[in-house]
Amino acid sequence: MTTLIDKFQSKDAVVGVVGLGYVGLPLVLAYANAGFRALGFDIDKEKAAALLAGKSYIKHIPGKQVAAAKKSGKLDATTDFSRVSECDALILCVPTPLDEHFEPDLSYVIKTIEAIVPFLRTGQIVSLESTTYPGTTDEELVTRVEEAGFSVGDSIHVVYSPEREDPGNAHFAATNIPKVVGGATSECLAAGVALYEAAFDQVVPVSSCKVAELTKLLENIYRAVNIGLVNELKIAADKMGIDIWEVIRAASTKPFGFNAFYPGPGLGGHCIPIDPFYLTWKAREYGVHTRFIELAGEVNRSMPDYVVHRTMEALNRRGKAVNGSKIVLLGLAYKSNIDDTRESPTFALMDGFKRLGAELSYYDPHVPKIGPTREHMEWAGQESLEWSEENLRAQDCVVIATKHDAFNLDELAAWSDLIVDTRNAMADTETRDGQVVKA
């Protein structure tokens, strides 16, 4: 183990990152920028080819960063998993979605582990970063590594270190976000700390992989429950004729005991809509009913239907039915100023309006064309509407699902008769009486 730690400290180690998406790409670049030979693995040939050409395929990660890393000779990419043996460290960053019953789908993790195990060698460390339930690293990764003949903590090391990426965050990105690490053994933890200290500003060691796994779930459950609370309050406030956004602004002036969370059309991204149910599922093994988590999930999943209903009411007041109405949704990405559409509530809105017979389009300058998704393949290939006065005046209703800085809200107010605003985007824009409906 001392030799492995020495390699990290001297930057002689080769760091492999498996899965080059929104988590893996920033990570492989971080190690290349830190002076390591960084080797990215992915089953997607287009991603590997892009990196080898010095190009980025994620909008908020500038191409010049990839080009610089490639030019330095530190960045490499491949679809050949036999090259796992070249690496001293392997960091696994693959999806952990839910199945149709809201139960964990570990197929990506298990397939990835099974793909790398035949090429593992003595003296390596394997780190799982995918969000999952407590026990996954021990049950799925450690077990398979030991079945391959390795002694975990001796001939090979295993750790869990949850990803904490926030795509598009201008203040926190990869290396300046504290890195939680738990090891299968104390020797594994020491190797894991050395691995991450070599690239991250701060490393937070914890006593086990299970503690690290639950830490990630707590972070996201905290957000999911509080968003569920404020979404429920939004509905209640609307019935009372109260603007929930004004209430939140006022409550935010309290300098202690309150953190602002904001309502929306539903939850998006790969973490908040999914991660809480990993704990809910695991807790059932222990006879625990996680009522707060499940209730928050029910509230958050109901929000797209609430927005559709509010839109239907707004159209009805203008003597129009949803059936046959032209509706454009602004923002396909799940959050502001990025191109990430994973679990975006806009898809649920599109499904809801389609069921009612609306003529649908969307506008998102960050997502010019809808790519393939796991759950909404019927929308793949649809292109963003062009932003123009003619196109917006032709709509019966504009629904703001995501607030991008690229939206010209003054033009929107001038050109649109009815705007359903799920993000309080129009709060500082001059509008006509009755033109904006908050939902």
Active site residues: 271
**Six token digits for residue 232:** 């429920």
SS3 of 204, please?
strand
From CA 20, how far away is CA 37, in angstroms rounded? Answer: 16
Nearest to 360 by CA among 335, 401, 321, 324: 324
From CA 111, how far away is CA 103, in angstroms rounded? Answer: 18
From CA 314, how far away is CA 434, in angstroms rounded? Answer: 9
How does DSSP classify residue 137?
I
Query: Measuring CA to CA, how many Å separate 178 from each of 24, 173, 203, 272?
Result: 17, 10, 6, 19
From CA 245, how far away is CA 262, in angstroms rounded? Answer: 8
How does DSSP classify residue 382?
P
Nearest to 326 by CA among 365, 355, 353: 353
From CA 231, how far away is CA 78, in angstroms rounded? Answer: 44
SS3 of 266, please?
coil
CA atoms within 13 A on the CB side of 111: 10
From CA 382, how far away is CA 361, in angstroms rounded? Answer: 8
Q: How far is CA 44 from the centre of its chain?
A: 19
How does DSSP classify residue 377?
G
